[in-house]
Amino acid sequence: MSKNGLIGAVEAGGTKFVLALATHEGEILARTRMPTNTPVETWPAMRTFFDEASTKHGPIAAFGVASFGPIDIDSASNTYGMFTTTPKAGWSGARFHDALSAFGAPIKVDTDVNGAAIGEWMAGAGQGCRTLAYTTIGTGVGTGVVREGCSLMGISHFESGHIVPPRNPTRDPFVGICPYHGDCIEGLACGPAIERRWGRSLDQLGSDEVAIVADYIAHLASTLVLLHMPDRLIFGGGVMKAPGLIEAVRRATAAKLNGYVQHPRLDAGLESYIVTPGLGDDAGITGAIELGRQALASK
Amino acid sequence: MSKNGLIGAVEAGGTKFVLALATHEGEILARTRMPTNTPVETWPAMRTFFDEASTKHGPIAAFGVASFGPIDIDSASNTYGMFTTTPKAGWSGARFHDALSAFGAPIKVDTDVNGAAIGEWMAGAGQGCRTLAYTTIGTGVGTGVVREGCSLMGISHFESGHIVPPRNPTRDPFVGICPYHGDCIEGLACGPAIERRWGRSLDQLGSDEVAIVADYIAHLASTLVLLHMPDRLIFGGGVMKAPGLIEAVRRATAAKLNGYVQHPRLDAGLESYIVTPGLGDDAGITGAIELGRQALASK
């Protein structure tokens, strides 16, 4: 099969799947979305889409998948591409390879946040970066770190949301909502934590609340700098849409680093260092297409 | 030049240089140490050692350097191998390539802590790991993360010591000694911080003090898990020699992670996950030899 064959791309979210058939250059030839039911329904529907699209446009050379989790993303593992202990009914033990192996094409599977990070690196706010950290602050908090287009991992994908930041209990006495850690960054700064603490979303609150949340996000930002030294940090997700938040995160991060890391990338106000996403809702499917290209290149 | 040629290895510390000529397999044929003076004296002395050792044993195919810093370790940079803003008199602007390029062999330069990490990965407590994090807690605090034998970096090497951990001011009111951040991990847990706070070194103090220091180190350990997911964490350096400290770090890290990361590598007591170094004083020069091999392989 040619290295210029078609790419099947899957963005698998907890509520919906986005599927696309694209050229190797990234042009989308067919696209659909469907609800995330159980694999008994979702796997055949996914196969049908790719069957029909392939009949019309040509054979599929590789698949790229950016998925919700927890899922095994270690290509050296026997359970690569398999959902592990997700509470989502029916999905534990389901494996993308079961649904897609009939096409006889290589499959690369990564997490949703890594997929969005790769998408932003390819075509969004991370273009030109060697190392990019993309963080989503939404229902949960997670970070994908991309080095020259590939996501980094160790024995598992990263779990940045569970870092516990320094606290000031006078300023913010909220105990956090993480069932494992209480007041980790996810437990303090994700959308549900903000709703639980103040009864509404951050975009309906004032600058004091924004500053409190910004301080926790800035702890994550400065820790990402010290442990990955990215060329740029992108912060996306629903919480980041609150007015003034990205600016407050920049100010708090600059205060925390306090000039210690000297590099032209870290401009004075961090305006070009800490940014919002460039692709919006298309980051995931763009990253999935790139994962398909990577599957093909490493075949 | 053959891929099996001889390797010139340099472990450059703030007080002494260790030099070795080794076979590609790592057998050391000649070795010396000399004080770290200024480059005006150290560069010619280093050249003389490698000249004489090469005359006796054969041509040098590559150099590996593990050095104190700050130093540019980005092989794509114009100032690769050059000391940047070190306060050490005479060393700012000095470059290993000035001293070694006469040999006409490729040179790979990395930091001292990355070198020790690579050494431990090669032949010490990190053998068999895909991802290894090696941290030294001594005069300063630093971490090298190695993935399949190569150190990770971004726009610079990592700076793990400057992460600010959560504090309990009732338990430990010390404000820290870091000129940039006050109470970052280095500012609280390095050897000089312990001396300043309690008037003696940690091995002469009791279990209360050990537990306080262990808690800061465990914050670094858990953050390394969440942002790099290594197969193993090694903690070395002078402070780690305090009796009971590694055990206290294991307990505190397990309490912080609280079962969130489920993987066979993280055994119940973390006894095989958080360990002390295997090579002792030989980690640096072992890593420098491996850096020379990498220079040869990527030539």
Give me the DSSP letters along B84-145.
-S--STTTTT-BHHHHHGGG---EEEEEHHHHHHHHHHHHSTTTT-SEEEEEEESSSEEEEE
Q: Name the pLDDT band for A4 (thresholds 50, 70, 90).
A: low
Mean pLDDT of A130-151: 97
CA dihedral B65, B66, B70, B74 (to 10 degrees): 60
The predicted pLDDT at position B4 comes to 67
Whole-angstrom Cα Rg for chain B: 20
CA distances from A129 to A150, A221, A232, B75, B160 (A): 12, 17, 7, 16, 22
Nearest to B156 among A85, A159, A229 (CB): A229
DSSP secondary structure letter of residue A26: -
For residue range B10-46, list pLDDT tens digits in order: 999 989 999 999 999 999 999 999 999 999 999 999 9
The position carrying tokens 């009111």 is: B173
Give the residue from B162, B180, B253 with the most A CB atoms within 10 Å of its CB, the best one to mutate: B162
- Residue identified by tokens 């971490």 is B143
Query: Distance between CA atoms of B290 and B151, rounded to whole angstroms?
Result: 11
pLDDT at residue B1 is higher than 70: no
Query: Residue A74: closest CA among chain B residues belongs to which residue?
Result: B130
CB-based contact (8 Å) between A179 and chain B?
Answer: no
Say if residue B2's pLDDT is above 60: no
CA distance B174 to chain A (A): 15
CA angle B140, B142, B143 (to 5 degrees): 160
Confirm or reject CATH 3.30.420.40 for domain A6-111+281-297, answering yes or no.
yes
User: Can you tell me the distance from the alpha carbon of B131 to that of A79, in angstroms, rounded to the nearest whole number?
Assistant: 19
Q: Of A299, A297, A295, give the one whose Cα is nearest residue A64.
A: A295
Q: Which of A156, A181, A224 sits opposite B258 (nearest CB)?
A: A181
Could you tell me which of B11, B67, B17, B233 has the C-alpha nearest to residue B137? Answer: B233
Domain boundaries, chain A: 6-111+281-297, 125-277
The answer to whether residues B124 and B283 touch, using CB atoms and an 8 Å cutoff, is: yes
* ipTM of the complex, rounded to two decimals: 0.95
- With 90 as the cut, is the pLDDT of residue A85 above it? no
In terms of Cα–Cα distance, which of A193, A13, A29 is closest to A115?
A13
Tell how strand B16-22 and strand B6-12 pair up.
antiparallel
Distance from C-alpha of B299 to C-alpha of A133, rounded to nearest angstrom: 30
Q: Which residues of A touch B222 (CB under 8 A)?
A: 163-164
pLDDT attached to residue A2: 45
Interface contact B180-A259, CB threshold 8 A: yes
How high does pLDDT run on average in chain A? 95
Considering all CA atoms of chain B, what is the largest pairwise distance in Å, rounded to the nearest integer?
A: 63
Q: CA of A196 to nearest chain B CA: how many angstroms apart? A: 22
Say if residues A289 and A11 touch (Cβ distance below 8 Å). no
Give B192-213 pLDDT, tens digit per residue: 999 999 999 999 999 999 999 9
CA distance B264 to chain A (A): 10
Q: Tokens for B58, please give them.
A: 């054969």
**Across the interface, do B166 and A165 touch by the CB < 8 Å criterion?**
yes
Q: What is the pLDDT of residue B298?
A: 87
Which residues in chain A are contacts of B263 at CB distance < 8 A? 155-156
pLDDT at A128 over 80: yes
CATH class of B125-277: alpha beta
> Per-residue confidence at A265, pLDDT binned at 50, 70, 90?
very high
Distance CA A118, CA A286 (A): 8
For A:204-263, CB contacts with B below 8 A are 219, 222-224, 226-231, 256, 258-263
Q: State whether B164 and A167 contact (CB < 8 Å).
A: no
One-letter amino acid identity for A65?
V
User: Binning pLDDT at 50, 70 and 90, where does residue B88 land?
Assistant: confident
State the pairing for strand pair A150-151/A232-236: unpaired
Across the interface, do B227 and A163 touch by the CB < 8 Å criterion? yes
Q: Assess A131–B contact: CB distance below 8 Å, yes or no.
A: yes
Q: Tokens in use for A35?
A: 């609800």
Give the gyration radius of chain A's Cα atoms: 20
Report the amino acid identity of residue B94. Answer: A
- Residues A55-73 pLDDT 10s: 999 999 999 999 998 899 9
What average pLDDT does range A223-252 have in this prediction?
A: 98
Q: Evaluate if residue A299 carries a pLDDT over 80.
A: no
Q: Is the pLDDT of residue A46 over 70?
A: yes
Task: Say if A6-111+281-297 and A125-277 have the same CATH topology.
Answer: yes
Q: Above 50 in pLDDT, residue A1?
A: no
Contact A167 B166 (CB under 8 A): yes
Q: Is residue A128 within 8 angstroms of chain B, CB to CB?
A: no
Q: What is the mean pLDDT of chain B?
A: 95
Pick from B225, B227, B262: which is nearest to A228 by CB? B227
Distances B142 to A227, B137, B147, B185 between C-alpha atoms, Å: 10, 7, 17, 10
What residue of B is the nearest CA neighbor of A130? B154
Inter-chain contact B227–A229, Cβ cutoff 8 Å? no
Write out the E strands in chain A. Answer: 6-12, 16-22, 28-35, 60-67, 107-111, 131-137, 141-147, 150-151, 232-236, 274-275
Residue A9 has phi, psi (to 5 degrees) of -120, 135
pLDDT of residue A137: 97
**What percent of chain A is helix, strand and coil (3-state, nearest 5)?**
40, 20, 40
pLDDT over threshold 90, residue B85: no
Contact at CB, A154 and B231, closer than 8 angstroms: yes
Q: Which residues of A touch B167 (CB under 8 A)?
A: 166
Residue A212 to residue A214: CA distance in whole angstroms: 5
How many Å apart are CA A194 and CA A239, to the nearest integer? Answer: 9
Across the interface, whether the CB atoms of A131 and B155 are under 8 A apart is answered yes
Per-residue pLDDT averaged across A197-205, rounded?
98
Say how many C-beta atoms besides its own lie within 10 A of residue B141's C-beta: 29
**Parallel, antiparallel or unpaired: strands A141-147 and A274-275:** unpaired
**Angle of CA points B37, B39, B40, to nearest 5°:** 95
- Name the residue among A4, A3, A9, A289 with its Cα closest to residue A149: A289
